Chains A and B, each alone.
Chain A
Amino acid sequence: MPDSTFLDSTELVLNMGPQHPSTHGVLRVILKLDGEKVLGTECVIGYLHRGVEKIAENRTYAQFNPYVDRMDYVAAISNGLGYCLAVEKMLNVEAPPRAQAIRVILTELNRIASHLLWLGTHALDIGAITPVFYCLREREEALKIFEKYCGARLTTHAFRIGGLLYETYDGFEQDIRDFCAMFVPHVDEYEELLTNNRIWIGRLKDVGILNADECKEFGVTGPVLRAAGVKWDLRKAQPYSGYEKYDFEIPTRQNGDTYDRYIVRMQEMRQSVRIMQQAVEAIPEGPIMGKVGKVIKPPVGEAYVSIEAPKGELGYYVVSDGSTQPYRVRVRPPCFVNLQALDRMIRGGLVADVVAVIGTLDIVLGEIDR
């Protein structure tokens, strides 16, 4: 007869991360387990803290621009767009139409690149090895376009306050057209591998549910919110950079589980292609830089400007004291706020679901820790 004390289920504390391949960076999650069941979680963050907000106060407006790329480094262009728009708002200038169109194309291309990295690693976490190779293969094509445009692949520093520094290269439009034509069949390919895959559905369906009310309560935005049935996208709600000119849908789902978030992101990639296709055919002629002086000195004041980054609402709250350096820059990171809902999503679930839920939140620690 085994000793009955060994059969007692006792609470087990399991440390996951910060060096763990499935936490997508240096996230540490302390799990409280009862057998396979998760009783509670605690996130430890800050391993990648660089004090970006403090650095901003010691740089000029233009000097700080490259730093924002290092926050969400897989979607650097979105970060740059948000920052440039915030400073432009304070300066009361707008980027010229040509710059806006190119910005939209590059931002959407970056959204696809970001979603591809998410899909590949998420599928890898779940146990599907193949998609990551395909995803990175297509992501490479997107990164090549960034490289041809501005010389950098990841932390691109593609935009400047007031517009763009670089004109498009010869053949830019054709590259975008080719990418769009090439990419849509590949999305079908990923979906063929995953969407109706029995194991995929079994691992994701009804896992990590976060309904619409909980999303609003936690301030969760982006695909996670849309998967819960809230048709809200800043590109539609408060259009910026000329997004109102393009015809696209906001994909939504109803259940708010991991599977729905997967579907939403897949459809978002298709919508991004639609936006790029429209934008590339209608890039207006004209200057690419607005009327911004060499020295950027916004008048005393403050502004909060946010954009729809691949992960959710990315906001910049910038305060100016009239000097050449920002008085305060606060970044409202989507990943940080979304991660807060992790505990709610996996409490009561299984250990294996933790990885699925972290993957589906699509976090980037560079942005959470800043």
Chain B
Amino acid sequence: MADEQKPGGSEAAPPPGGEAAKEPGKTAVEAPKPAPPKPALPPPKPPAIMVATPWESELARELKESFGEGIGETSTYLGQNFIVAKPGSAIPILEYLKLESDFDYLVDITAVDWPKRADRFDVVYILYSFSRNERVRVKIHIPDGYQPETAVGVHLTADWLEREVMPDEWQGYPLRKDHGILQQDERWVQENLGIESGQ
């Protein structure tokens, strides 16, 4: 909307009301219409955040008692419970959940990249308990370069889930947000596949 009002921008693509401007005779007769009142700009939206509610349960209380500072937040969103923990206490929490609360199945480990945040990555452990039929996610926020402890000691399945990566010699981290979708390690592709580019 604001662009259409600018005189300079109308050369390439005249705005719908701009035909009159090409015929000077017409414009001289008709008084230029007053510009319609600009709609008031909506107030800037606050940055949207996940509207999670506190997770009140026996288990959340137990965990807070056992780990105190190690647990930052116990919340629930869309009926799914999650814990935000200090990076160092993730593995003890997984162990506690496994031994004391029967969360004996590590469903998945994954990570989310938030480049603008100081602690850039979320590492997410998704757990399930067969006896409770319940899921819980344990999340930690870690900065770039931080190496979280391995969870293999607690759940064997963590082995592949933690190591699911590109080939050893591959340069770059394709799932990071600052890694373009067309970007690739061209040297690796040339050396190993014998082609100019994988694209």
Contact = CB atoms under 8 A, between A and B. Distances in A.
Interface in B37-55: 48-52
Given A304-B135, A315-B107, A51 B78 contact: no
A315 B113 CA distance: 20
A304 B107 CA distance: 10
A245 B174 CA distance: 43
B96 to A, nearest CB: 17
Given A54-B174, A89-B78, A328-B112, A317 B157 contact: no
Contact of B107 (A54, A92, A302, A306): A306
Contacts of A55: 181
A7 interface: no
Nearest to B181: A58
A320 to B, nearest CB: 9
Interface string A104-137: 0000000000000000000000000000000000
Given A90-B78, A306-B107, A330-B110, A217 B174 contact: no
Contact of A217 (B110, B137, B155): B155
Contacts of B166: 46
Given A54-B175, A54-B181, A218-B156, A300 B108 contact: no
A interface bracket (residues with beta carbon within 8 Å of B): 35 or more
A340 B161 CA distance: 9
Nearest to A49: B166
Given A54-B175, A303-B78, A332-B108, A340 B159 contact: yes
Given A217-B156, A330-B110, 17 more contacts: A46-B166, A51-B181, A53-B175, A54-B175, A57-B177, A216-B130, A218-B156, A219-B107, A219-B155, A238-B133, A301-B52, A301-B77, A304-B126, A315-B107, A328-B110, A339-B160, A340-B159
B interface bracket (residues with beta carbon within 8 Å of A): 35 or more
23 contacts: A53-B175, A54-B174, A54-B175, A55-B181, A57-B177, A57-B181, A90-B78, A216-B105, A217-B156, A217-B157, A219-B105, A219-B107, A219-B155, A301-B52, A302-B77, A304-B107, A306-B107, A317-B110, A317-B126, A328-B110, A328-B112, A336-B164, A337-B161
Interface string B108-119: 101011000000
The 10 closest A-B pairs by CB, nearest first: A219-B157, A330-B110, A332-B108, A300-B48, A301-B50, A322-B48, A340-B160, A217-B156, A328-B112, A218-B157
Nearest to B139: A302
Interface string A194-218: 0000000000000000000000111
Interface string A25-56: 00000000000000000000010000101110
Contacts of A300: 48-51
A53 B155 CA distance: 24
B112 A327 contact: yes
Interface of B: 48-52, 77-78, 80, 104-108, 110, 112-113, 124, 126, 130, 133, 135, 137, 155-157, 159-161, 164, 166-167, 174-175, 177, 181
A contact face: mostly helix, strand, loop, or mixed: mixed
Contact of A340 (B78, B108, B110, B157): B157
A353 to B, nearest CB: 21
B161 A299 contact: no
